[in-house]
């Protein structure tokens, strides 16, 4: 963990694929800084003790940048953070934009970089605050889906919505009853804001309230109070998170980063198990149905053809994203989410096929190309696991080059079509010769040529990958080239039949 409202905390959140919240205040000189309290007394350490006492107790709005820029706001949390200084809001925006450029647009991806920027203001608010805040996000070129304004001042949020309509603006309120929350919700709709941000109290953030706001296109976020006597807030627990998420809350804030990160990972793993189960059932049912209708050989070809067609479609989507932004080392949010879902489904399909082969061998039956299939599945499974298990940015970098390599399934489509043509006897010798030539061409292009290109992409992504993972995937790439070369040699020997 890192001290609150520091660049160290911002970078840690972005590295872990989490959104973050910062508090924005205005200095006497008009500069926007990141600080929670009205003074620096709780978090500041200054080299000059006497100067420190005189500064930290003064309201932050009376200080200038020259007064605060050298003040240590990290040592109170730990000596290794002694280099942390009061951040400028512009520095936070720079980190956010750089992370967004690496990750891509957010879409519905919860690991996309996102900042909840709370504008601290009394009533009436200082008119310099919204002017400076709007100028800061414009100068930094912050994407519209990367930042949300929040504040306890509803008039300030209305003003920010006028100045920066591309960003969501939520009104924070500490409603303690359902009736108070409904009043806040109705005012939000009346004022044209994008939603409300309430304390995470289940008796306040009710299902009816969330449904009513969602029906009007508004979002619902929740926040928690800080530590009291060293203990987290009573509403800052995984049980409350589960409950509010199930009710439909759009965003939640927590003071327990490691815990909420593990909670989110556990939820993703539950979703993964559900997806894998659905794919396994669909694969088994499809194979069983095709086997009953047309026999084992045609069933294998048809089911594998469907998988290869889906792989080719997703790979083409990824290739389009890479060509659109060739300098980006990670996929954009929506494309990355699609890639991850496909890799999970594909890995499940390969596991089902490997189980089928092993069961058949145990029963004394040797399926077609059983040794090559088991070898392929072992290599592919080992290559796929980091794409599913690694946290950003490594996981997204792996999915980027792995999905491009999945274009090799184009050759599998041609292979299965050729096998089906042979079994069904459609088109005669001319069709056989044409499909065989297409198979050789697709193997040469989408395996022999593509795999070395993907190896180059792995090397290009080396800064995003831990050294053991880099070496592992370079080894898998070499194995893929070797295996494809062997298969290509066998195809040359076979010739059309």
Q: Provide DSSP, 173-230.
A: E---SHHHHHHHHHHHHHHT-SEEEEE--TTTS-HHHHHHHHHTT-EEEEE----BTT
Average pLDDT, the chain: 86
Peptide bond into 77 cis (omega under 30): no
State CA 393 to chain mean position distance. Answer: 9
Pick the CATH number of 7-255 from 3.20.20.190, 3.40.50.2300, 3.60.15.10, 1.10.630.10: 3.20.20.190
Q: Is the pLDDT of residue 229 over 60?
A: no
Mean pLDDT to the nearest integer, 39-44: 84
Mean pLDDT to the nearest integer, 59-66: 90
Domain residue limits, the chain: 7-255, 261-494
pLDDT at residue number 104: 56
Peptide bond into 393 cis (omega under 30): yes
Q: How confident is the model at residue 82 (pLDDT cuts 50, 70, 90)?
A: confident
Mean pLDDT to the nearest integer, 94-101: 88
Site of tokens 């089906």: 420
pLDDT at residue number 244: 93
pLDDT one-digit tens code per residue, 409-455? 999 899 889 888 888 877 778 888 888 889 899 989 988 888 888 88
pLDDT at residue number 137: 95
- What is the 3-state composition of the chain as percent helix, strand, coil, each rounded to the nearest 5? 65, 10, 30
| Residues ≥6 apart with Cβ < 8 Å to 212 | 185
Q: DSSP state, 120?
A: -
Mean pLDDT to the nearest integer, 110-123: 85
Q: Is the pLDDT of residue 231 over 80?
A: no
pLDDT one-digit tens code per residue, 330-380? 676 677 778 888 888 888 988 888 998 899 899 898 887 888 888 888 888
Task: Copy the structure tokens of residue 112.
Answer: 């996309």
Are the beta carbons of 386 and 394 closer than 8 angstroms? yes
Percent of the chain with pLDDT over 90: 31
CA gap 272, 414 in Å, rounded: 31
**Burial environment of residue 22 by CB neighbours within 10 A (0 to 12, 13 to 18, 19 or more):** buried
CA gap 471, 479 in Å, rounded: 12
Q: How confident is the model at residue 109 (pLDDT cuts 50, 70, 90)?
A: low
Cβ-based neighbour number of residue 434 at 10 Å? 14
pLDDT at residue number 155: 95
Q: Is the pLDDT of residue 33 over 90?
A: yes
| Beta-bridge partners for 147 | 115
Query: Cα angle vertex 421, ends 408, 416, to 5°?
Result: 20
For residues 49 and 276, the model is more confident at 276
Is this model's pTM higher than 0.85 or not?
Answer: no
Mean pLDDT to the nearest integer, 186-198: 95
């Amino acid at each position: 963990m890192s001290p609150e409202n520091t660049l160290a905390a911002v970078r840690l959140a972005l590295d872990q694929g989490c959104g973050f919240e910062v508090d924005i205040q205005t200095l006497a000189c008009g500069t926007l800084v990141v600080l929670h309290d009205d003074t620096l007394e709780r978090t500041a350490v200054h080299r000059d003790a006497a100067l420190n006492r005189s500064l930290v107790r003064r309201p932050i709005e009376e200080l200038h940048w020259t007064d605060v820029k050298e003040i240590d706001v990290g040592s109170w949390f730990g000596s290794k953070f002694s280099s942390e200084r009061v951040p400028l809001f512009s520095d936070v925006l720079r980190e956010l934009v750089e992370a967004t450029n690496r990750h891509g647009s957010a879409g519905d991806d919860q690991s996309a970089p996102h900042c909840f920027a709370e504008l601290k203001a009394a009533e009436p608010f200082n008119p310099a605050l919204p002017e400076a805040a709007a100028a800061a996000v414009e100068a930094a070129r912050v994407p519209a889906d990367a930042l949300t304004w929040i504040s306890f001042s509803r008039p300030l949020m209305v003003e920010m919505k006028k100045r920066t309509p591309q960003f969501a603006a939520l009104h924070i309120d500490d409603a303690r009853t359902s009736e108070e929350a409904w009043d806040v919700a109705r005012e939000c709709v009346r004022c044209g804001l994008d939603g409300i941000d309430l304390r995470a109290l289940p008796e306040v953030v009710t299902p009816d309230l969330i449904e009513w706001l969602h029906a009007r296109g508004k979002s619902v976020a929740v926040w928690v109070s800080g530590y009291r006597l060293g203990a987290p807030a009573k509403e800052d627990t995984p049980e409350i998170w589960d409950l509010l998420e199930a009710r439909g809350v759009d965003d939640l804030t927590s003071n327990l980063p490691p815990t909420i990160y593990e909670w989110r990972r556990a939820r993703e793993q539950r979703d993964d198990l559900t997806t894998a189960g659905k794919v396994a059932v669909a694969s088994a049912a499809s194979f069983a149905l095709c086997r009953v209708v047309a026999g084992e050989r045609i069933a294998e070809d048809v089911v594998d053809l469907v998988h290869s067609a889906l792989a080719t479609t997703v790979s083409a989507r990824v290739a389009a994203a890479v060509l659109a932004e060739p300098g980006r080392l990670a996929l954009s949010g929506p494309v990355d989410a699609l890639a991850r879902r496909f890799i999970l489904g594909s890995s499940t399909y390969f596991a089902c096929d490997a189980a089928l082969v092993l069961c058949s061998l145990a029963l004394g039956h040797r399926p077609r190309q059983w040794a090559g299939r088991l070898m392929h599945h072992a290599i592919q499974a080992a290559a796929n696991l980091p794409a599913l298990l690694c946290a950003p940015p490594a996981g997204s970098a792996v999915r980027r080059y792995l999905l491009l390599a999945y274009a090799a399934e184009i050759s599998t489509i041609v292979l299965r079509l050729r096998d089906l043509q042979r079994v069904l006897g459609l088109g005669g010798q001319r069709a056989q010769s044409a499909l065989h030539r297409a198979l050789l061409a697709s193997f040469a292009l989408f395996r022999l040529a593509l795999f070395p290109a993907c190896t180059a992409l792995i090397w290009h992504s080396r800064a995003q990958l831990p050294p053991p993972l880099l070496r592992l995937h370079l080894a898998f790439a070499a194995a893929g080239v070797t295996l494809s070369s062997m298969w290509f040699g066998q195809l040359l020997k076979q010739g059309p039949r």
